[in-house]
Amino acid sequence: MQTLIRNIFNLIRRAPEDGDAAARFIAKSENFRLLLTANNEALERMAEMGEDARSGRAFGMSHVRASSLKTAASVRGMIERLCRMHPGRYDALKDVFNRIVMDMENALVQRADRPAGPMVLGLDAVRADAMPETGSKVALLGEIAAGLRLRIPRGFSVTGSAFRLFMEHSGLDDEINRLIQITDSSELDELRNLEASIRRAIDMAAFPPGLEEAIDAECARLRADGKGVRLAVRSSALGEDSEEASFAGQFLTLLGVLPGDVAEAYRSVVASMYSATAMLYRFNRGLREDGVVMCVGCMEMVDAVAGGVVYTRNPVAPEEGVLVSAAPGLPCTVVDGSALIDTWIVNPDTLEVVRAEIADKQWAHGVGPGGSIVREELAEGRGALPAIGEDLVSELARTGLAIEAYFGQPQDVEWALGQDGGVYYLQCRPLAVSGRESKPERAPEDEDAPFAILASAVPASPGVAGGNVFLVESDEDMLDFPQGAVLLTRNARPQLSALLPRASALIAEFGSPASHLANVAREFSIPALIGAPGAVDRLSGVSAVTVNARTGTVYLGIRQGQIDAWSGRKAPLRENDVVQALKRVLPYVSPLNLTDPDAPEFTPEHCRSLHDITRYCHEKAVFEMFAGSDHPTANARKLMGETPMQYWLVDIGGGTAESGEEGYISLDDVRSRVMLALWRGMTAVPWDGPPPPSASGFMSVVSQAAQNPALTPGVANDMGRRNYFIVGRNYCNLQSRFGFHFCTVEGFAGDDPTANYALFQYRGGGADIGRRRVRIKLVAEVLERHGFIVEARDDALHARIEGVGREAVERGMAVMGYLLVHTRQIDMAMADPAAGERYRAKFERDIETVLNGLPEAAGTEVTGQ
């Protein structure tokens, strides 16, 4: 490349009066500048995508899509600029780019194109193989009804096909993705606004033709026996209830729905996919927000005497036996954590009850006359009675174990006892069980015993952790929840799951280990006590506590010994769906296959990644700029003067007077006023030399230089090793390397202010990124004070003045010239705030001197360096 760069600009040089040639050069230079900007953007974005794949931090699919598209857009911008630098020569790149981008798109898309199935399916026809249409919740229920002859409610499923049709027919797919994309947040309050926007969009969307009719027909079938029917309309999303992600309580279940209201209830369940808590759950679990398919189960309500849950293993103490929970009335209080419930431990071999904990229950839920769910206070004395008899407890345990044997894994089974004395099974799903020994140990931490402030709470998720207590009683409290606090609440409401990734531990006064919130706590490995009477009164106002969810005890203060002794939280991070999607797209982005510009394979057709295109465009742009066929011979002239740095000058028209000596030019012969203004800025105040050495600043530079081959002395900048002034009568462009930083300075100052501008691009440096950022901030402040608009990001800065008079451009050139020279190496000193202040003051003084000396005829007073 070196030889090519020496062959420069002869054509233009030979035709100094040719205004078109000058204009063409300026156009090419501008396209080159835009290409370099896009190049930097593209490389930064590729680096960020790689970092995302490695970092383990949480992000959603919208982030992966946006990163991919932004990187691609920057690369497409480079192609556009290169094509404009030499029309017709590089068009093949566009097809190569399009192909790579469509490959990226295919790597990101998850939803398979399934043939459309029926929009509804009757439960009597559903078996496990219907799962892709009904979701696992409904499919498994159909399977136990058919395979184990268990009684389930009558009903039907609104299928995955119906959901896809709804999304596509109404355009909701695109609209929801757009709303998520523009919100770009994982903050709870912003997600609540997003939830409201998505809810509005779903409310306004039309159902696909035939859906409402199909739902009505199924409801009519249920009503055929003449009884008044009420339905439970439940989510049964694809992937919901899997072992990896239960989504417990994240989606809506509507109870007591009248047949005529099922279609609108379906709409509400679909909308619950986008509740703030469900979105945050997916975000924190790394689950794809674009991959959820909401199937919905619609089942006849059971007028229940009692209801509850069977866990075929106690999730926090698997060796204990089968855990049966029950409450009077509908089973909803068992799973929503809103009240105390009865629990039994059953021996799985003998089916005998080995332990019973009968709570003093206050409430029961039932179906009211209009189909609504009503809460009734239990009569005096009734609340202390067991919700069901021990015979039924044993029977439920036996059935639960049969389901476990049928599916070959522990189960979470929801049931209801009908008025006729028969049991209905409402749901079954795989149960995640703690693999480690976690038998409750009664106060093993003897030395901490005096600090125990709450004992005998029910462990719901194993572990030990400490933090400050934060009581959450309202939705507003949720917004204030601090990172790492112990979440204290009265009821184990499922909505609180949004806080669990930020909580160190959970204590809920009411609820049970069978609640949705307990499920989510176990998924996130957050120690939890659920069922801790009196906890709110005892712990409110207490600052730091340690929650031991092995023993059911809370201690005052941080008990580090206990926390250290618990190592169960260090479960290996599972690579989640979102990271997997990112890793599928990265092979089309990052690998660099085109490394040798002289190889015959250095062609558009051999570009296999966006990085390859970036590399190709950069190489060819340098060629077009400095060695293209219309600039066959070098005719740059060396600038004469006693300068420690050497400069060459290329005139693109009217920038110089003819000089006598071939190959050299003196400042006296320069006619470009903008260049002379720049030169004055660079030279009017002598450079003091590098800042006084400090060991840490010096070491920072040494270590950066060792890591960054671009900083090795002698490595070419974008223009090669020489620093060139490219000048015209009203124009000057300087691309140079000063010390370790790279700069572009450009200005145009003619009679028409609308065409005038001054531009400054500045990046790099020798010190570490922190010091370079401080320097950029200082440079940005100085430029802004002198009328530039500035965009600074990390260690890169773009600044510009546009549409101003000739004099303002020249003053801008002088300021840029000063900064170019005088900010050399000061990044080394930038760890010291006092040094920053000293430089700021000096720069202001010096720049005043520079500008005061800038004459109307800028060329007459410049001095040599």
Partner 1 sequence: MKKIRLLLVDDETDFLHAYTRRFIRRNAEIESAQSGEEALEKIEGGRFDVVILDVMMPGMSGLETLRRIKALHPELPVIILTGHANSKALIEGMESGAFDYLLKPVGTDELYFKVLDAVRARRLPSD
Interface residues with partner 1 (CB under 8 A) are 20, 23-24, 26-27, 30-31, 34, 37, 62, 65-66, 68-70, 72-73, 76-77, 80, 84, 86-87, 94, 97-98, 101-102, 104-105, 174-175, 177-179, 181-182, 184, 753-755, 757, 789, 791, 798, 800-804
Looking at residue 348, the DSSP 8-state letter turns out to be T
Is 276 in contact with 188 (CB distance < 8 Å)? Answer: yes
List strands edge to edge, sheet with 757-764: 664-665, 637-639, 647-653, 723-728, 731-738, 741-748, 757-764, 796-802, 789-793
Q: How far is the CB of 184 from partner 1 (least distance, A)?
A: 6
Task: Tell me how far, at minimum, the Cβ of 738 lies from partner 1, in Å.
Answer: 24
Question: With left for phi above 0 and alpha for psi between -120 and 50, is residue 408 left, alpha or beta?
Answer: left
Nearer to partner 1, 104 or 639 (CB): 104
Q: For residue 178, which of 273, 277, 41, 66 has the smallest C-alpha distance? A: 66
Residue 793: CB minimum distance to partner 1, A = 9
Q: Are the CB atoms for 636 and 655 separated by under 8 Å?
A: no
Burial class (CB in 10 A: 0-12, 13-18, 19+), 630: middle
CA-angle at 495, arms to 491 and 496, nearest 5°: 65
The nearer residue to partner 1, 143 or 810, going by C-beta atoms, is: 810
Name the residue nearer to partner 1 (CB basis): 34 or 128.
Answer: 34
Beta strands 723-728 and 647-653, pairing class: parallel
Residue closer to partner 1, measured from CB, 101 or 634: 101
Paired tokens of 597 = 């510009």
CB neighbour list of residue 357: distance below 8 Å, 6 or more residues apart:
342, 343, 344
CB contact at 8 A, 9 and 636:
yes
| E strand intervals along 474-607 | 486-491, 505-510, 528-530, 544-548, 553-556
**b/e per residue, 580-606, with b = 16+ CB within 10 A?**
ebbeebbebbbeeebeeeeeeebebee
Decide whether 620 or 798 has the Cβ nearer to partner 1: 798
Give 442-461 as a DSSP string.
SS--GGGGGGEEE-SPPEEE
Smallest distance, partner 1 to C-beta of residue 385, A: 57
Shorter beta-carbon distance to partner 1: residue 168 or 437? 168
Of 24 and 127, which has the nearer Cβ to partner 1?
24
Nearer to partner 1, 20 or 564 (CB): 20
Residue 272 Cβ, how far from partner 1 at the closest point, in Å?
23
CB burial class (10 A; 0-12, 13-18, 19+) of residue 556?
middle
Rounded to a whole number of angstroms, the minimum distance from the CB of residue 62 to partner 1 is 7
3-state secondary structure of 668: helix
Tell me how far, at minimum, the Cβ of 219 lies from partner 1, in Å. Answer: 34
Compare residues 490 and 800 and give the one whose CB is closer to partner 1.
Answer: 800
- Closest approach, Cβ 66 to partner 1, in A, equals 5
CB 69 to partner 1: min, Å = 5
CB 726 within 8 A of CB 718: no
In angstroms, give the least distance from the CB of 626 to partner 1: 17
Pick between residue 89 and residue 223 the one whose CB is nearest to partner 1. 89
Strands 486-491 and 505-510: parallel
Two tokens, residue 353 = 């009850």
Minimal distance in Å, beta carbon 108 to partner 1? 8
Q: How far is the CB of 181 from partner 1 (least distance, A)?
A: 5
**Closer to partner 1 at the Cβ: 181 or 659?**
181
**Phi/psi of residue 133, each to 5°?**
-100, -30
Residue 442 to residue 465: CA distance in whole angstroms: 17
Closest approach of Cβ 36 to partner 1, in Å?
Answer: 12
Q: How far is the CB of 64 from partner 1 (least distance, A)?
A: 9
> Token pair 């002395």 is at which residue?
713
DSSP states along 589-635: TS------TTSTT-SGGG--SHHHHHHHHHHHHHHHHHS-TT--SB-
Give the side-chain half-sphere CA count within 13 A for 580.
11
Q: Count other Cβ atoms within 10 Å, centred on residue 106.
A: 11
Closest CB to partner 1 among residues 702, 755: 755
Residue type, 179: L
Nearer to partner 1 among residue 628 and residue 691 (C-beta):
628
Cα torsion angle, 808, 810, 816, 822, sign: negative
Cα dihedral across residues 137, 142, 143, 145: positive or negative: positive
Give whichever of 74 and 704 is closer to partner 1, judged by the CB atom.
74
C-beta of 647: minimal distance to partner 1 in Å?
26
* Nearest CB to partner 1, comparing residues 80 and 718: 80
Q: Tell me the DSSP string of 56-109.
A: -----HHHHHHHHHHHHHHHHHHHHHHHHHSTTTSTHHHHHHHHHHHHHHHHH-
CB of 78 to partner 1, least distance (A): 11
* Three-state secondary structure call for residue 554: strand
Distance of closest approach, residue 781 Cβ to partner 1, in angstroms: 15
Give the nearer residue to partner 1 in terms of CB position, either 139 or 180.
180
Q: CB-wise, 448 or 795, nearer to partner 1?
A: 795
In order of 37, 166, 256, 262, 390, the CA distances from 265 in angstroms are 52, 14, 10, 5, 37
